[in-house]
Amino acid sequence: MYIPPQFAENRPEVLHRIMREHPLGTLVRSEEGGLDADHIPFEFEPDTGPLGTLKAHVARNNPLWQRCPTGTPVLVIFRGAQAYISPNWYPSKHETHRQVPTWNYEVVHAHGTLSIHDDERYVRALVARLTREHDAAEPRPWKMGEAPPDYIQMMLGNIVGIEVQVTALVGKSKLSQNRELRDRRNAADTLAERGRDGLAQAMRATLPAEEN
C-alpha cells in the first residue's frame, strides 16, 4: 500500500478503532489459480498474540478452509470511514482555483497467519460472542437459546472457524492533512452537515489541538 508520510497511521488505538467499528474484513490470499478474497465479519482480540488475533467463521462449503491450511499467510483489509471530497469545500479554491477533487478514507491492512478450527465448540463460542456484540442494540437481543437446539446444532455444523494471528498492522488515514487548516476544517464541517459524521470526526482529530 502506498503511504505518503503525512497519511501514515501507526497508533494502535486508532488502528484498533477502525477494525472494531468496521469489522467486515476482506481476507485476501494467494492460491494456485491466483489471488482470491472473501468478505468476512471478524472479531478482533488485541491482547491475544503479539499484535492481536482475528477470529471469524466461514461456510463449510467455502473452499477457503480446505485450500488454505493452517500456516497460510493472508492479508485482511478493513476499510473505515470514506467519502468523496469536493474542491468546492475548500475556501482556498474560491481564491486561487488551484484545487482538485480527492477521496478521503481510513484503512488498515492486517497481515497474518491463518489457522483453521473445525470445532463445534469453537464456532459456538464465537457465534455467541459475535451475536452478543452486534445484536446488543436491538430492543430484545437475539440469543442462540431462542432457536431449537437441533436447529442450532445443524447450523453450527455448517460453518468452520478461522483465526488470523496478526504479524503486522499497516494503517493509512488520508484525511486532507496536506491541505490548509481552513480547508481541512471546512471540509470536515461539510461532511458533518451531510451526515458523514465518522469521517468528519476522524478529520477533526488530525487538526492541531486548538482547532479541534
| Neighbouring residues of 15: CB distance < 8 A, sequence distance ≥ 6 | 9, 108, 169, 171
**pLDDT given at position 189:** 96
pLDDT tens digits for range 160-172: 999 999 999 999 9
Average confidence (pLDDT) over 14-31? 96
Positive or negative: CA dihedral 34, 40, 43, 44:
positive
Identify the pLDDT of residue 76. Answer: 98
Confidence of residue 210 (pLDDT cuts 50, 70, 90): low
pTM for the whole structure: 0.92
Q: Which amino acid is at 98?
A: R
pLDDT one-digit tens code per residue, 85-113:
999 999 987 888 788 999 999 999 999 99
CB distance 159 to 123 below 8 Å: yes
Distances (CA, A) of 126 to 42, 136, 145: 10, 15, 15
How many Cβ atoms sit within 10 Å of the Cβ of residue 114?
21
Q: Residue range 182-194: average pLDDT?
A: 96
CATH (one of 2.40.50.140, 2.30.110.10, 3.30.300.30, 3.90.1640.20) for 5-82+103-177 = 2.30.110.10
pLDDT for the residue 96: 84
Residue 211 is predicted with a pLDDT of 62
Closest to 82 (Cα-Cα) out of 111, 51, 103, 108: 103
The per-residue pLDDT for range 99-152, each reduced to its tens digit, is 899 999 999 999 999 999 999 999 999 999 999 999 999 999 999 889 999 999
pLDDT at 212 over 70: no
